[in-house]
Structure 1
Amino acid sequence: MSRSKPPSNTPADGSGHYLKRELYQLVRRDPAIFEFLQNGSLDGIWYWDLENPEHEWMSHGFWELFGYDPADKPHLARSWQDMINPHDLETALENFNRHCADPKHPYDQLVRYRHKDGSTVWVRCRGLAIRDEHGKPVRMLGAHTDETALKQTEIELRRKTEELERSNADLEQFAYVASHDLQEPLRMVASYLQLIERRYRHRLDDDANEYIDFAVEGAVRMQSLLNDLLIYSRVGTRSTSPTPADSDRALDTALANLEAALTETRGIVQREPLPVVLADATQLVQLFQNLVGNALKFRSEDPARVHVSARRCADGFRFTVRDNGIGIDPRFHDQIFTVFQRLHNHETYDGTGIGLAICKKIVTQHGGRIWVESKEGRGAAFRFTLLSGDGAEADQ
Structure 2
Amino acid sequence: MSQEQIDILQRALKREKAARKAAEKILEDKSRELYVLSEELKISNAKLEAAVNEKSSQLAGIFENIIDAYVVMDLRGNVLKMNDAASHLFGYDLSEEPLNVTKLIYTEDVAYAFESFSELIEKGRFSNYTARIFRKNKEIRWVQINASLVYDTDQKPIAAQGIIRNITELKSLEQQKEKILKQLEKSNNELYEYAHIVSHDLKSPLRSIDALVSWIKSDNEGKFDEDTLQNFGMIEATLETMESLISNILEYSSAGSETNESKDVNLNDTMEDLYRLLFIPEHISMNVLKKLPTVKGDPTKFQQLFQNLLSNAIKFCNKDKGIVEVDFVEEPSFYQFSVRDNGIGIEKKFHERIFKIFQSLNKSKESTGIGLSIVKKIVDLYEGTIWLESELGEGTTFFFTIKK
TM-score where L is the length of structure 1: 0.75
User: Which of 280, 286, 296 is the aligned partner of 1:269?
Assistant: 286
Q: Distance in 2 between matches of 1:94 and 1:320?
A: 52
1:19-58 aligned at under 5 Å gives the runs 41-50=66-75, 53-54=77-78, 56-58=80-82
User: Which of 261, 265, 278 is the aligned partner of 1:245?
Assistant: 265
Bigger shift: 111-120 or 180-189? 111-120
Q: Distance in 2 between matches of 1:119 and 1:382?
A: 57
Cα deviation 1:127-155 (Å, max 9, x = unaligned): 22223455443222222222233333333
Q: Distance in 2 between matches of 1:364 and 1:191?
A: 40
- Structure 1 pair 179/353, CA: closer, same or farther in 2 (3 Å)? same
Q: Distance in 1 between matches of 2:99 and 2:193?
A: 58
Q: Distance in 1 between matches of 2:350 and 2:96?
A: 66
User: Which of 226, 229, 236 is the aligned partner of 1:216?
Assistant: 236
Question: Following TM superposition, by how much is the alpha carbon of 1:188 offset from its aligned partner in structure 2, in angstroms?
Answer: 1.9
1:40-79 aligned at under 5 Å gives the runs 41-50=66-75, 53-54=77-78, 56-66=80-90, 68=91, 70=93, 74-77=97-100
Structure 1 or 2, whichever has the larger Rg, is 2
Higher helix share: 2
Q: Distance in 1 between matches of 2:362 and 2:127?
A: 64
Cα deviation 1:159-208 (Å, max 9, x = unaligned): 33333333333322222332234333322221111221333364446665
Q: Distance in 2 between matches of 1:72 and 1:196?
A: 98
- 1:364 matched to 2:369? The reply is no
- 1:381 matched to 2:400? The reply is no
Q: Distance in 2 between matches of 1:376 and 1:85?
A: 68
State the AA in 2 paired with 1:350.
Answer: E
User: Which of 306, 313, 321 is the aligned partner of 1:295?
Assistant: 313
Question: Following TM superposition, by how much is the alpha carbon of 1:322 offset from its aligned partner in structure 2, in angstroms?
Answer: 0.3
Question: Following TM superposition, by how much is the alpha carbon of 1:246 offset from its aligned partner in structure 2, in angstroms?
Answer: 2.4
Q: Distance in 1 between matches of 2:111 and 2:83?
A: 23
Contact 2:256/2:380 (8 A) holds in 1: no
Secondary structure, in 3 states, of the residue corresponding to 2:261?
coil
Question: Following TM superposition, by how much is the alpha carbon of 1:295 offset from its aligned partner in structure 2, in angstroms?
Answer: 0.9
Matched positions, count? 350
Question: Following TM superposition, by how much is the alpha carbon of 1:328 offset from its aligned partner in structure 2, in angstroms?
Answer: 1.3
Cross-structure match for 2:24: none
Q: Distance in 2 between matches of 1:72 and 1:189?
A: 88
Question: Following TM superposition, by how much is the alpha carbon of 1:42 offset from its aligned partner in structure 2, in angstroms?
Answer: 3.9
Contact 2:385/2:401 (8 A) holds in 1: yes
Cross-structure match for 2:212: 192
Question: Following TM superposition, by how much is the alpha carbon of 1:234 offset from its aligned partner in structure 2, in angstroms?
Answer: 4.5
- Structure 1 pair 201/56, CA: closer, same or farther in 2 (3 Å)? farther
Aligned-residue CA RMSD in angstroms?
3.5
Question: Following TM superposition, by how much is the alpha carbon of 1:357 offset from its aligned partner in structure 2, in angstroms?
Answer: 2.1
Q: Distance in 2 between matches of 1:331 and 1:116?
A: 64
State the AA in 2 paired with 1:382.
Answer: F
Contact 2:199/2:247 (8 A) holds in 1: yes
- Structure 1 pair 49/309, CA: closer, same or farther in 2 (3 Å)? closer
Cross-structure match for 1:312: 330
Contact 2:358/2:368 (8 A) holds in 1: yes
Question: Following TM superposition, by how much is the alpha carbon of 1:50 offset from its aligned partner in structure 2, in angstroms?
Answer: 2.9
Contact 2:257/2:381 (8 A) holds in 1: no
Contact 1:244/1:276 (8 A) holds in 2: no
Q: Distance in 1 between matches of 2:138 and 2:389?
A: 57
Contact 1:84/1:113 (8 A) holds in 2: yes
Contact 1:45/1:58 (8 A) holds in 2: yes
Gaps of 5+ in 1: 1-26, 389-396
TM-score where L is the length of structure 2: 0.74
* Bigger RCO (CA 8 Å, 6+ sep): 1
State the AA in 1 paired with 2:281.
Answer: L
Contact 2:285/2:322 (8 A) holds in 1: yes
Contact 1:113/1:121 (8 A) holds in 2: yes
Q: Distance in 1 between matches of 2:123 and 2:236?
A: 80
State the AA in 1 paired with 2:267.
Answer: S
